[in-house]
Chain A
Amino acid sequence: MNILEFSQNSYLTSFFLFCFALILYVFTVAGRRKNQEAHLKKWGTISFAVTVLGFVAQLAYFITRWIGSGHIPLSNMYEFMSFLAIMIIAAYIVMHFIYRSAALGLFAVPLAILMMGYASVFPSEVQPLIPQLKSIWLILHVSMVGASEAFFAVGFVAGIMYLVHTMRWDDTTKRKSQIALEFSLFTVIIILGYVVTVFGYRAAGYEVELQRTVEVVETIDNNTQISNKPDTISYTLPPIFAATNSKVVGDEKFLGMQLPLMEVPAAMDSHKTARKMNTVTWSLMSGLLLYGLIRLIIRKPIAKALQPLLRGMNPDDLDEISYRATAIAFPVFTLGGLIFAMIWAQEAWGRFWAWDPKEVWALITWLFYSAYLHLRLSRGYHGEKSAWLVVIGFIIVMFTLVGVNLLIVGLHSYAGV
């Protein structure tokens, strides 16, 4: 077994350990015993110990991959998302030592699992570094961004927990926040649906080629000629959407239906946008299916079903955890996400600030959290409003991380989607 294989095995081990820890956390928090306090203490410790084991396995993955590849594993989306998962667990461990809350693990660990799953959607091969990334700032900038975003994530988790805990389901005037909270959880389910679908089809080895002919204008030795050339793209999910006039190569069908089912609107007519739209459609469909199944089993909104699990928590503490985590993250984000980013941009491109979309969104994240931190000073911005703000903040963080790469292309395009 070579070192990179060992690294991948550690990654898998940590993934399963976290799944196991999650089950333990559910048992800790939901299992009722006569001696509630002793039960919480015993099983809380066991769950935490398994989480720490998973963290050790994650560290083993990170270190061995660093050694095996010769550069810090922070150079593409797979590596960064995996690192974010490591940092979320690290941030959770830090918060655990301050606040000793088993319920926080119940929410933080699944978020890390989801991040690891999402990371694995991206190609996991070790890639050689392009010249732009060969810099000490790769380590400093990217690792600090990962660390700060993990604390933002824990702030978000505590915010969601606060909202789940304090939601009054019998109060009809709270209809809007009830729906908004359930929708937030639904969004998380969509990401889960996306990961599950991609892995399902990948396990089945699904791949289909779509082809269409495009007119290419060529100039060869001064003669301009228009020729028809085949333009192919490969899908790893069954094509519901495809670019106009594309046909499946071979005889692939989906549930007996001819593929592709639909063509994208003319404004988005390219193979790549069509494939993105196809992926989004699949994520939504599988998310809805998954959500429907969950609702069918528990027969009430997920947020409502989660509420009893948080019985033992003090909402004031949750409010404070979410604020503390965000306050820990903010200076680290300022240093890693803006200042180090500017220094690196100056070294590599000769401009410390170029209004590149990724930069702008990092600035937006920073401005948003600074608005949040100022609002915390005012009366009336503790508790529910504050919790909603950290939820929105984390959505902005995720958009900066993933959305900008998906929807807007800029200088950071090598971060790859």
Chain B
Amino acid sequence: MEFQNTKCECGHQNPTQTILCEACGKPLHESDNETSVLEMRYDGVARKSQKANPSVIDRVWNFFSSVKIAVIVIIITLIGASLGTIYPQESQFINFDPSTYYKENYGTIGHIYYLLGLSHTYESWWFISLLVMIGASLVICSLDRVLPLYRALHKQKIRKHDQFLRRQRIVYEQQLSNAMHQGDWIQKAQKALKRKGYRVYEQDGAILAEKNRFSRWGPYINHIGLIVFLLAVLARSIPGWNLEYYAAFPHNEPRPIENTPFYLENEKFTVEYYTKEEMPEQFAKEGRVIPKLFETQATLYRCVANCDDPLAEPKLEEVHKHNIRVNEPLKYEDLMIFQYDFDLTPKLVAVKPNLKNPKTNEIYGSFELNISKSEPKYTVGPYTLELREKYMDFDLGKDGKPITKTPNPNAPAFLFMIKGPGLEETGEPYFYFPLQKDKQRFREDVLNQEIMKKIQIDVQSMADVTIQESLSYLNVRIEKALPYIWVGAGISMIGLVMGFYWQHRRIWLRLNENQLLLGAHTNKNWYGMRNEVARILRETELEVDVNAIDRGGDKS
């Protein structure tokens, strides 16, 4: 082990790896003839990570404490993130097969993209690891620097070594004329500095003037905010903290919100479009349609009884009403409900057909047929109708047999076995289509040719048909991490503003007899610093060339 003498000539014992003496600021490892601008980062103190004989933990710490490593991780992360934008991510689709989608739409390159796992870049282990590494780097880099820096700035010596002053970037040296009394000049300088907002400390003909030290803490406060933000994002995976699902809410029908005691009813859905007068002429000519408003008038209920009993009607209690629009979600406790989509295609809900004799027009009675909640058996007068089959979206398959195309009630059809007077003992089949268009399309009269001579199922008027007009798709969310996310972002912003819109400026002055020596340092904005120093000196009746006092920065 190499022994390093870290004791400064002023008598202060410095930790190893210290660049500038913690007390007087004299450069420790350089010759006295050196004139280049001093390295002033962290005031030349040893960072926490810079110790002799590092252990394994120290080595990990040292790795993450490097700004260079932080920058490399940031660059890798941004390149990785950009790869994820080449093709759409899997998370943007609902119900699709990624193993074929990318090949079909983007060819072989798309398939390779999928195989490399880039189709879910942001959920991949390597991307998340990069984010975790950024988090680790944020914590370690900050701790490594903030404590030594705090110590250094907390106990600054007013009288610094000549070499420390002379090797600042802004330096001014001048023999004061004999006419000017030393004490008077110091007084004047102090006043001028105070007018510029400096805190001035004096000690035997030496001055330390400092302002906006708080701006040095900006980066660390920003990092704390980012850590809070990242932790809040991680916290989203706590069970119950995050809920997201999309559901259809039919008109006037309270629907349960999964995993919550709440029910939501869509009382009215409105969509409005801009009129021709409200649009530019060109748009109106092209016949463009621009939506103006989507709104679901919603009522939120809490279920207070019979909630899990499928047979009993749940007991609901109204808790909240809100008109949900885009940008104006419903918010109740943790629940947030957003307008997502809508469907205005009318859907049949129920019909109330009659059973009649086509010859005599005698009506035997009627029955309520709910399309989605049909019953297995209906009794109408002397007749019984047994439901054998139900098709929500009726069609004929390739082999001529009836099938259901989709589970949506687009073309409902019912196959009844009807028994009663005048019909066969075992019953006769009857295909019933509630919608007029389907009756014609599938030739109801042909399918039921025989039985329709004896009996007919028919609706009398539109009053016997219940149609649901709108379906509003809403996005139901719970996001308990949200407040923490905003707090993190807020802290981060405060740190950024502190760090970027103020600069930490220090001016050191020394009078050795009548010889004035001034050194000045700022953490950014040297242009402003040198102008300020020149103005202050002018107020003490010293003429200064602004450009001459700035020795220029890092030119390497």
Measuring CB to CB, which residues of chain A are less than 8 angstroms from any residue of chain B?
Answer: 98-99, 123, 125-128, 130-132, 134-135, 137, 221-222, 267, 314, 316-317, 319-320, 323-324, 327-328, 330-331, 334-335, 338-339, 342-343, 346-352, 354-355, 357, 360-361, 363-364, 367-368, 370-371, 374-375, 377-380, 382-383, 404, 408
* Cα distance A135–B501 in the bound complex, in angstroms: 29
Asked if B10 is at the interface of the complex by the 8 Å CB criterion, the answer is no
Q: Cβ of B4: which chain A residues have Cβ within 8 Å of it?
A: none
Question: Is B497 positioned at the interface, with any CB of A under 8 Å from its CB?
Answer: yes
- Interchain CB contact under 8 A, A130 and B291: yes
Contacts A/B (CB < 8 Å), 18 sampled: A123-B282, A128-B292, A130-B291, A131-B291, A131-B325, A316-B550, A316-B553, A320-B527, A334-B493, A339-B489, A347-B328, A348-B326, A351-B244, A361-B82, A364-B78, A367-B81, A378-B68, A404-B85
Give the contacting residue for B293; candidates A131, A347, A352; CB below 8 A: A131
Whether A357 lies near B282 (C-beta < 8 A) is no
**In chain B, what residue has the closest Cβ to A324?**
B525
Please, how many angstroms separate the alpha-carbon atoms of A360 and B74 in the complex?
14
Docked Cα-Cα span, A347 to B552, in Å, equals 49
The interface stretch among B23-31, B273-281, B315-323, B356-364 is: B273-281
* B74 and A316 form a contact (CB under 8 A): no
Contact B85 A316 (CB under 8 A): no
The answer to whether A364 and B327 have CB atoms under 8 Å apart is no
Q: State the Cβ distance, B536 to closest chain A Cβ, in Å.
A: 19
Please, how many angstroms separate the alpha-carbon atoms of A115 and B283 in the complex?
A: 25
Contact of A132 among B78, B327, B501 (CB under 8 A): B327
| Residues of A close to B554: CB separation below 8 A | 379-380, 382-383
Contact across chains for B485 and A352 when beta carbons are under 8 A apart: yes
Residue of A at shortest CB range from B293? A131
Contacts of A319 in B (CB 8 A): 553
Contact of A355 among B89, B294, B327, B501 (CB under 8 A): B89
Given B107, B338, B441, B547, which contacts A350 in the complex, CB threshold below 8 Å? B338
B439-495 interface (Cβ within 8 A of A): 441, 475, 477, 479, 482, 485-486, 489, 492-493
Cβ contact of B85, chosen from A328, A342, A357, A380, cutoff 8 A: A357
Q: Is B290 an interface residue (CB 8 A)?
A: yes
Q: Which residues of chain A have C-beta atoms less than 8 A from B39's C-beta? A: 379
Q: Are B107 and A267 in contact (CB under 8 A)?
A: yes
Is B329 an interface residue when CB atoms closer than 8 A count as contact?
yes
A221-B441, A350-B244 given; A131·B91 CB < 8 A: no
> Does A350 contact B326, Cβ atoms closer than 8 Å?
no
Number of A-B contacts (CB under 8 A): 144
Nearest first, the 10 A-B pairs at minimum CB distance are: A125-B280, A331-B496, A350-B338, A367-B78, A131-B326, A357-B85, A135-B327, A350-B477, A371-B74, A364-B78
* Residues of B near any A CB (own CB < 8 A): 39, 41, 67-68, 70-71, 74-75, 77-78, 81-82, 84-86, 89, 91, 107, 122, 244, 274, 278-280, 282-283, 290-294, 325-329, 336, 338, 340, 395, 441, 475, 477, 479, 482, 485-486, 489, 492-493, 496-497, 500-501, 524-528, 547, 550, 552-556
Q: How far is the CB of B90 from chain A (nearest CB, A)?
A: 11
Q: Is B500 touching A327 in the complex (CB atoms < 8 A)?
A: yes
Tell me if B84 and A355 are in contact (CB < 8 A): yes
Nearest Cβ distance between residue A19 and chain B, in whole angstroms?
A: 28
Q: Is the CB of B500 within 8 A of A330?
A: yes
Main secondary structure of the interface of A (DSSP, over half): helix
Contacts of A221 in B (CB 8 A): 441
Chain B positions within 8 Å of A98 at CB level: 527-528
Given contacts A221-B441, A314-B547, A350-B336, contact A367 B329 (CB under 8 A): no
Q: Which residues of B contact A375 (CB under 8 A)?
A: 71
Q: Shortest beta-carbon distance, B312 to chain A, in Å?
A: 32
Closest to A131 in B: B326
Nearest A residue to B41, CB-CB? A377
Query: A128 with B274: in contact, given A355-B84, A377-B67, A408-B85 (CB under 8 Å)?
Result: yes
CB-defined contacts of B477 to chain A, threshold 8 Å: 350-351
Docked complex Cα distance between A339 and B283 (Å): 34
Q: Which of these, A127, A135, A222, A330, contacts B395 with CB under 8 Å?
A: A222
Partner of A374, one of B67, B85, B547: B67
How far is it, in angstroms, between the C-alpha of A330 and the C-alpha of B555 when the chains are bound? 25
**B395 contacts across to A, CB distance below 8 A:** 222
Contacts of B547 on A, CB cut-off 8 Å?
A: 314
User: A361, B553: Cβ atoms under 8 Å?
Assistant: no
Q: Report Cα–Cα, A134/B497, bound state, in Å.
A: 29
A355 to B67, Cβ gap below 8 A? no
Assess whether A371 is in contact with B525, with CB atoms less than 8 Å apart: no
Q: B residues within 8 A CB of A354?
A: 91
Q: Which residues of the other chain, A, contact B82 by a CB distance below 8 angstroms? A: 360-361, 364
CA distance A363 to B77 in the complex (A): 10
Known contacts being A267-B107, A355-B122, A364-B81, is A331 close to B501, with CB within 8 Å? yes
Given contacts A324-B525, A327-B524, A331-B493, contact A134 B326 (CB under 8 A): yes
A220→B496 CA distance, assembly (Å):
61
Q: Which residue of A lies closest to B326 (CB)?
A: A131
**Is there contact, CB below 8 Å, between A350 and B278?**
no
Which residues of chain A are within 8 angstroms of B89 by Cβ–Cβ distance?
355
- In the complex formed, the residue of A with least CB distance to B79 is A364
Contacts of B71 in A (CB 8 A): 371, 374-375
A383 contact set on B, CB distance < 8 A: 554-555
B129 CB, min distance to chain A CBs, angstroms: 16
Q: How far is the CB of B399 from chain A (nearest CB, A)?
A: 16
A131 engages B292 (CB within 8 Å): yes
Q: How far is the CB of B29 from chain A (nearest CB, A)?
A: 16
Residues in B neighbouring A134, C-beta threshold 8 A: 326-327
Other-chain contact of A360, B84, B279, B293, B482 (Cβ < 8 Å) = B84
Q: A334-B496, A350-B477, A378-B68 are in contact. Are A131 and B283 (CB under 8 A)?
A: no
Inter-subunit contact B290/A127 (CB<8 Å): yes
Chain B's closest residue to A331 (CB) is B496
- In whole angstroms, how far apart are the Cα atoms of A254 and B278 in the complex? 39
Q: Are B500 and A367 in contact (CB under 8 A)?
A: no
CB contacts (< 8 Å) of B479 on chain A: these are: 346, 352
Q: Residue of B at shortest CB range from A386?
A: B554
How near does chain B come to A409, taking the closest CB pair, in angstroms?
9
Q: How far is the CA of A350 from the CA of B475 in the complex (A)?
A: 7
**Residues of chain A with a CB closer than 8 A to B550's CB:** 316
| In the bound complex, CA of A350 to CA of B441 (Å) | 43
B492 and A317 within 8 A (CB):
no
Set of chain B residues within 8 Å of A137, measured between Cβ atoms: 327
Q: How near does chain B come to A349, taking the closest CB pair, in angstroms?
A: 7
**Do A330 and B496 touch (CB < 8 A)?**
yes
A144 to B329, CA, bound (A): 24
